[in-house]
Structure 1
């Protein structure tokens, strides 16, 4: 069910689904090269990040929720793990700028919906699902106290 999918993630999903399955891995590798850099305030502070244990590669994420309930997702993933880095990039680009409610409404099966389940291992899809679940949990924990959770 992808009814609640925000436009940013729906566009990314559609970009993958419009390609033949054989070309989707290349698009994922392109995303891996577009992982946004972390803001300076996080650069030398690994203690602020959460490790995504579901990923074999060392992937770390941190979520910001500002006073207007707008989310920023930052991630680090090694260049030598391009599929994992690509998934982190998809989520960082797709989630950043959304409202907390929009992030919390992202379907848990989003990673399965982008057409990569036959070109990357189930373990990698599980890693992306772990990234999404941790991002959603951080959003729920970090949103301004005056806002009810969805």
Structure 2
């Protein structure tokens, strides 16, 4: 696996998101994204520049197990919307995050996360209690090597 192109500390702004909640294995979140993207296309949230998708991780898989992780499939909402039974509204609060950009295959995600936590430890930073998340910069299906370009974001104190 290639190391991160760059890891740095950034101050993130508050962001409003539309989300579909999911609990289970990492591979199973695709169904939640299917519902979210269908809603997004129908409601004008499908501009890949302004409506980036992201996954929020509410649990540590080392604590709850790989098949019990609570996750949220999200899209950045650049205009107001009314939540539905399936599509909820949430906020990512402003704050400091360690952000690493990666270009990786599905099987390299774990290594990327481990590299991020190692970097945080080596730089004597403290992970906050806020949920970590990934921001997707591309559609891996359109990448010549089917890789995902992501920003892994870990909130710090």
Whether TM-score is above 0.5 comes out as no
Question: Which has the greater radius of gyration?
Answer: 2
Give the structure with the higher percent helix: 1
TM-score range, shorter chain: 0.3 to 0.5
Structure with higher strand content:
2
